[in-house]
Amino acid sequence: MLEERKLDDRKLAVLRAIVQDYVGTEEPVGSKALVERHNLGVSPATVRNDMATLEDEGYIHQPHTSAGRVPTDKGYRLFVDRLTEVKPMSGAERRAIGSFLDHAVDLDDVVARTVRLLAQLTRQVAVVQYPSLSRSTVRHVELVALTPTRLMLVLITDTGRVEQRLIDCPTAVGETVLADLRSRLNTRAGGQRFVEVPTLLQDLPESFEREDRGAVTAVLSTLFEALAEQTEERVVIGGSANLTRFPHDFPLTIAPVLEALEEQVVLLKLLGETGDAGMMVRIGHENAYEGLNSTSVVSVGYGSGDETVAKLGVVGPTRMDYPGTMGAVRAVARYVGQILAAS
Amino acid sequence: MLEERKLDDRKLAVLRAIVQDYVGTEEPVGSKALVERHNLGVSPATVRNDMATLEDEGYIHQPHTSAGRVPTDKGYRLFVDRLTEVKPMSGAERRAIGSFLDHAVDLDDVVARTVRLLAQLTRQVAVVQYPSLSRSTVRHVELVALTPTRLMLVLITDTGRVEQRLIDCPTAVGETVLADLRSRLNTRAGGQRFVEVPTLLQDLPESFEREDRGAVTAVLSTLFEALAEQTEERVVIGGSANLTRFPHDFPLTIAPVLEALEEQVVLLKLLGETGDAGMMVRIGHENAYEGLNSTSVVSVGYGSGDETVAKLGVVGPTRMDYPGTMGAVRAVARYVGQILAAS
DNA sequence: CTTGGCACTCATTCATCCAGAGTGCCAGTT
DNA sequence: AACTGGCACTCTGGATGAATGAGTGCCAAG
């Protein structure tokens, strides 16, 4: 509050112009070039005064005396928060996204195509988390008796995944018991979220005859195990070659980024910080992970309907086209959500 | 043959020395430095003559007049083939490999640790293929009639994987036919390798009544499909940050390499070229994929027992320490094989 | 066949210089 | 009070050029 009193509209316009120019040219931008390219309606000298203020406040920075100014992380932050809007994709771009993703044949393919597409659209490194199934629900549970003491459990999730397990029962299970168990499993667990299923089913053995409880327990523990495994999280990346498009800060900054990108844990944490609603932009030092201190991360959740099942985003230099990147990330996330909802 | 008549032992020694020095210093090596660092027992002038011959024959190359010499791909090839031995890992290194891999808890972990380890040992980019299941065998095939025209096929592999498919038959299938089919499937396909199953079963429909053949064919094609999917191959990479250790040829050569590493297809092809027995070294332009023309690939198969179930290797600059890299790759492959055999 | 000598070539390095972009400050104008 | 034009100053980046030195090819002699 106190600080911002000093920043009138024109100073903000100057900051916006600086960010835009710098993102375009990748070179420090001076007062003269600024008034030429943007009609600010004032002279370079005035802009210089504004720039001095902006520098005092820490929004821009001078690499060395008598060079132009470069936005700081703080400057980008202000730019993203207050000086710009997410740039929507053009109709043509949206159609391209659609037709590219529509050809996906299964979940793996959706993710693979998404990461590719995002990398191409933004010309940066794309990061896509596999739909976490902890929010997923159970569509159907099937039990098949292979032999009297050997069952097969088939779990079908609402995202269309099928998982099957073999179960060795301590005692033989009759056909009627099996049918009973099958129907109870589905009425109680069907449509429920994975995480809730164990709670909902824990007292199930009690409603069976004593001699069948061992078998029921075996089935349940196998089911819980399968559910737990389905929530395993995974991240895929793409377009890492785009890192080389910044010959500027080389290779000082690229190596740690590559390392970070190989660490599933780091990526999951990174994406995990994204709120369930809305887009997250982490600029430079705002990233907890040190190797990403000179990069920005734009990420957003996606999912079918209004539920977030996973996150996706891009990693690029702090000097990135924020409006465009945010637009691309949002558009892709929405489209992936639609695909998941449809299938 | 004809060419090599010109290369006496000393010339070969000179080539060896050039390769060794160049790998160490990353700088073109001249005649004087050569005689100083290796006791060749002759004067620089003599070495110069030898170098001229070597250059005529295409084994070394001069970046510009009055610079030292650099080995060509052909030179490295000769070096690898005839001038050096695989350098065995030291005892300490072998123990380190063992203790690192021994802590793996499951297959995913083995692969993840292997790729990490290989990247660290060689300080290059490691590539590890998941054990291919094309060598796996069928343990059991189960057929369950859900409705008269709807069957469920369950495939169990010797690695414990279970795959299940629904089949819609064109005609109803009687219980006796089903039992017959089930038993024939298991006697013929049980214990057999995936790849051989289609051949073994292709004439199966003929031994059934005409009206059941449609159903049998449907079952078979579903089974073949499931088998094919189980052999899906996957490759993981690690240590891509090591690419940045060569600020020399930057970023001209790094971008295509990163692109190649993201292409599963390219990597699978690359590793696929490795013979089942023995190590493969592909130097520079020997790599079919253009983006890898300035890199060398050292790869070898690994597996439990004497069977190769997959390949692993590293990608690095042509100017790499071949003996050391080959030693590391071989040692890791052997150890992974042992782990797989034990589990 | 080997060697020492020698003239020659070039990349690299360093210092110097110049041009240009950009700044901060100040005094004058609106 | 805010803006502007002018001015002196700073500093980078590119160009120029000379010195350096590593390295070569060739030749005549051992």
For residue range A206-233, what is the model confidence (pLDDT) as tens digits? 888 888 998 899 999 888 888 877 666 7
Whole-angstrom distance, CA of residue B73 vs CA of residue B294: 9
B51 closest-nt by C1' vs CA:
D24
pLDDT of A5 over the 60 cut:
no
Distance between start and end Cα atoms, chain A: 49
Minimal-distance CA residue of chain B relative to A167: B162
- pLDDT confidence of residue B1: 47
The answer to whether some atom of strand D lies closer than 7 Å to the beta carbon of B25 is no
A272/chain B closest Cα distance in angstroms: 22
Most confident of A49-53, A213-217, B131-135, B207-211: A49-53
Average pLDDT of the residues in A70-76: 96
Strand D contact with B52 (CB < 7 A)? yes
Q: Is A231's Cβ below 8 Å from some Cβ in B?
A: no
Helix (H, G, I), strand (E, B) or coil at A279: strand
**Nearest 5 degrees, angle CA B5-CA B11-CA B12?**
85
DSSP A89: P
pLDDT > 90 in chain B, percent: 53
Q: Residue type at A96?
A: A
**Structure tokens of B32?**
């004087």
Interval A93-108 mean pLDDT: 88
Contacts of A244 in chain B (CB under 8 A): 251, 254-255, 258
- A240–B254 CB contact, under 8 Å: no
Round the average pLDDT of chain A to a whole number and report it. 88
Q: Is the predicted pLDDT of residue B249 greater than 70, yes or no? A: no
pLDDT at A197 (0 to 100) = 87
* Best CA proximity match to A18, nearest among A48, A56, A45: A48
In the structure, how far is the CA atom of residue B53 from the C1' atom of nucleotide D26, in angstroms?
A: 15
**Other Cβ atoms within 10 Å of A57 Cβ, number:** 18
Does this model's pTM top 0.75? yes
β-pair partners for A301: A311
Asked whether the predicted pLDDT for residue A288 surpasses 80, the reply is yes
φ/ψ of B237, rounded to 5, equals -125, 165
Q: What is the nearest nucleotide to B60, using C1' and CA? A: D24
The H or E element containing residue B16 is helix B9-25
Taking CA atoms, B229 is separated from A8, A50, B111, B232, B331, in Å, by: 63, 64, 20, 5, 31
Higher pLDDT: A157 or B79? It is: B79
Least confident among A140-154, A274-288, B33-47: A140-154
B151: chain A residues, CB-CB within 8 Å:
none
Whether CB of A42 is under 7 Å from strand D: the answer is: yes
Coil/strand/helix, residue B40: coil
Nucleotide nearest to B66 (CA to C1'): D23
Pick from A154, A240, A250: CB nearest B258: A240
Residue B162 forms contact with A (CB below 8 Å):
yes
Dihedral pair phi/psi, residue A305, rounded to 5°: 65, -140
| Residue of A125, A254, A265 to mutate, interface with B, max B Cβ within 10 Å | A254
